[in-house]
Amino acid sequence: MMSKSPLVQTARLVRHGFQKRSASTLHSKASPAVLPEIQSEMPDCDYQPPQYTGLSYEKVLEIRQKHITPNIVPHFKKPLLIHSGHMQWLFDHEGRRYLDMFGGIVTVSVGHCHPKVNLALEQQINTLWHTTNIYMHPKLHEYAERLTAKFPGDLKTVCFVNSGSEANDLAMLIARMHTGNQDIITFRNAYHGMSPYTMGLTALSTWRFPLPGVSNGIQHVMNPDPYMGIWGGAACRDSPIQTDRKCECSQETGCLAGARYYEQLEEVFKYSLPRGRVAAMFAESIQGVGGTVQYPKGYIKKAAELVRANGGLFIADEVQTGFGRTGEHFWGFEGHDFIPDIVTMAKGIGNGFPLAAVVTTPKIAAALGQALHFNTYGGNPMASAVGISVLDVIEEEQLQKNSLEVGTYFLQSLAGLRDRFEMIGDVRGKGLMIGIELVSERATKTPLSAPHVSEIWETCKDMGVLFGRGGLNGNVLRIKPPMCITKSDVKFAVDTLASAMSEVLNRNQ
pLDDT band at 16 (very low <50, low <70, confident <90, very high): very low
| Residue whose C-alpha is closest to residue 13's, from 29, 33, 43 | 33
User: How many other CB atoms are found less than 10 A from the CB of residue 355?
Assistant: 28
| Residue whose C-alpha is closest to residue 190's, from 214, 172, 206 | 206
CATH architecture of 116-208+278-396: 3-Layer(aba) Sandwich (3.40)
Which class in CATH covers the domain with range 23-101+404-507?
alpha beta
Instruction: Please state, rounded to an integer, the average pLDDT across all residues of the chain.
Output: 91
Each residue's pLDDT tens digit, 366-421: 999 998 888 999 999 999 999 999 999 999 999 999 999 999 999 999 999 999 99
Domain boundaries, the chain: 23-101+404-507, 116-208+278-396
Helix (H, G, I), strand (E, B) or coil at 161: strand
pLDDT band at 7 (very low <50, low <70, confident <90, very high): very low
Least confident piece of the model among 3-17, 132-146, 170-184: 3-17
Give 214's DSSP letter: T
Helix (H, G, I), strand (E, B) or coil at 248: coil
Rounded CA gap, 486 and 42, in Å?
A: 12
Each residue's pLDDT tens digit, 414-472: 999 999 999 999 999 999 999 999 999 999 999 999 999 999 999 999 999 999 999 99
Rounded CA gap, 376 and 36, in Å?
A: 51
Query: Which amino acid is located at 433 in the chain?
Result: M
Give 4's DSSP letter: S
Give the H/E segment covering residue 438.
Answer: strand 433-441
pLDDT of residue 314: 98
